[in-house]
Amino acid sequence: SPLGRAKVNVRGAGLEALTDDYGRFAFREVAAGEYQMEVSYLGFASQQATVTVGAGETAAREFQLALEGAPGQERQAGSDVVLLEKFTVVADRAMTAQALAMNEQRHASNIKNVVAFEELGEQGQENIGNYVRFLPGVVVMDNGDDAGSVALGGFPEEMSSIMLDGGEVASTGVGAESSRTLLIADVPMVNVERIEISKVPTPDMPAAGLGGSMNIITKSLLGIKSPSFSYQMYMNFNGRDGITFDGGPRQSTSPLTPKYAQPSFNATLVFPVGRRLAFSVGASRTWARRSTDDTPVESVNRNLRPENPDGTARDLAVIEALWVQQANISTTENIQAGVEVKLSGQDTLALGYQYRDTSGKTGEYGVTTRFSSGTINFPAGDAGYTDSYGMGTATRSGRLELSSKNNFELSSQTSHATLHYRHLGPEWRAEVKGT
């Protein structure tokens, strides 16, 4: 597979270049003579070679790099070619992704942190914020139990840009008001290869990202030699309920009372057709139930007046106790499709589409107990409940209320399509992106 961003150095001549995405490099107007060349790439063993350039001639040299410590590395006597065992190819996806990320960061034109997605551990497909919250310079604003928005470089979250394959993800704000702030639960995240955190904006970045930008890069398709299919299925449990497949206790509404807990999954298929065309499809679905025992809200109203309006003594007593509990079930669904075609030796075209649907169902119910005694009807303390002091009766009285309120569903749908055309010629380079 071609290696982009490999460093090519001509010793003693002060010449240095980086390979393009096709692994190509060139030095122009080099004087005739013999030169020592070295190619290096983080995670791979460097390679040296001697190249002789004749007057008025063009010299070409190909290099083959192997992973550091790969079994079967040998050098032929008097040769600079690294021979690999037949099964030893650059196919270790975790190592390859890590090497790509490290080299992208090493040779970036600005201050940038690049992390391979596989290196961040498995956090499910619910929220991209679970993966980036511990990266340098990234602050995740939590929205309850979930990652809400991202702030970069010390700027507010509305001044931080989130992109997918170089295109800004659409945002409508958080809550009822429209703004530039993006709820990161709405960001699609299928078939991700690496995440780039740019600390300093460059001229090609959106002006809205004064604090920086987070660019989510999906996996490149060209260069993959054989079809691959990856999948994962898992369940979300919580420490309160333990490992159980039961849907939980009965709640105030039927959508919040499932019979069984539902599994989550993600799957990705990459299918190359020859060396010039490749397709990818992916899907994921997550399901999580929040334990209701973790959400009770308890409050107490007390009488703090030492005497009644008529001057008689009054007990400092509890007049009202409230207990409210919240149930929540959240789901996310992702669909991804992509195609990449090599139009010529210098031109490539990539099309990508991602769709994400999020849904959160919430219901609240509670119990209110009101205690009272006495013969005078007036508001107790500052609570303002006219029925909390006996309603004019001489006997002790009270009231027990069961309530169900704030039953609602919050949902969002995000569609993100990208078009990326690149021309990498020997003289001119052009790149066109559309989102």
| Region 11-17 average pLDDT | 82
| 126: enclosing H helix or E strand | none
Residue 381 pLDDT class (50, 70, 90 cuts): very low
Strands, E assignment, 102-168: 112-116, 138-143, 146-152, 161-164, 167-168
pLDDT-above-70 percentage for the chain = 76
> How high is the pLDDT of residue 349?
93
Q: Write down the number of H helices and E strands in the chain.
A: 2, 21
> How high is the pLDDT of residue 390?
44
> How high is the pLDDT of residue 110?
62
| Region 138-143 average pLDDT | 80
> How high is the pLDDT of residue 102?
64
Hunting for tokens 């919240």 — which residue is that?
326
Query: Three-state DSSP class for 104?
Result: helix
Tell me: pLDDT of 93 over 70: no
Hunting for tokens 């899907």 — which residue is that?
283
Rounded to 5°, angle at Cα 196 from 342 and 17: 60
> How high is the pLDDT of residue 91?
41
User: pTM of the entire structure?
Assistant: 0.69
> Is 303 in contact with 313 (CB distance < 8 Å)?
no
> How high is the pLDDT of residue 157?
81
Mean pLDDT rounded to a whole number for the chain = 76
Query: Three-state DSSP class for 61?
Result: coil
